[in-house]
Structure 1
Amino acid sequence: MLSAAISFILTAGGVAFAGLRAYRRRFLSATRWFAVALLPAGLYLTGLFPLASTIAREFADWATRLVFDPRVWTGIALLGVSAVLLVTTRWVGRRGGTAVESAPERPAAAGPAPERPAVAAPAPKAAKKPAAGKREDGLGDFADIEEILRKRGI
């Protein structure tokens, strides 16, 4: 009976606040408050308050086990180690990896593996030479504009 009284008091208070918001011509806010105000009465009338109580109790039990049970902390540590290993191997794989992973496995009876040809490093790009008539101080475009303006007499 107490939960019924509390739910209907909350609903009445929310509807009153929504009415104040509507009186101040804030209809969007008033509609939101009215919708939220209907929740406690709806939860009570559908019988969902006992369900919410059960969920809260189970969540509290789970949280207590999480904090005080050493097996849970061992599981968390294992999950952390797994995550670190996955991230590390992904990072190493992106940086080039090791030759052990990239070389195909060959049976020992097949003899020594043939040598791979060395990959040549790309040649450095040649520096661009400035075009004739352009300044080398980074104002080459301005020199062109200046020349056009001079031809027009501006």
Structure 2
Amino acid sequence: MSEIDHELKIEAPPERVFAALTTLEGVRGWHAPAASGSGEVGGEWVFPYADHPEFRWDVTESEAPTRVAWRCTRGPGDSVGTTATFTLEPVDGRTLVELRHAGWPGTHGNFRKCNTTWGVLLHHLRDYVETGQPATAFE
């Protein structure tokens, strides 16, 4: 199985990053303003887009303020069944965010698109958390 791995540091405490990953207000601030759902374990995030396929993610883990995991239940191609895990760690007054999107059957097709998209999304997460102003990647 293949994995997408990204990391970046955010000038904010882990609790603020965790809130951006686990609350509707937070997810709407960096991902998509039309998002709906709950960041609680057993909840579901729904990300509808005007010009992209809809994504749905089950929330499978939520350990404040260090770890969040989602499992894809709806999306294009071979993305269904993959898992995105965010690990948060305080480092030098910032938060190191490590994203591992695992369970891909290979590195073709949607794997490459998702790799690029996660890079963009994480930069929007950083901008939102650091400024407190909406910085959505998608409309």
Q: So what's the TM-score if we normalise by structure 1?
A: 0.22
Query: Whose RCO is larger (CA < 8 A, sep 6+)?
Result: 2
Bigger radius of gyration: 1
Q: Which has the higher helix share?
A: 1
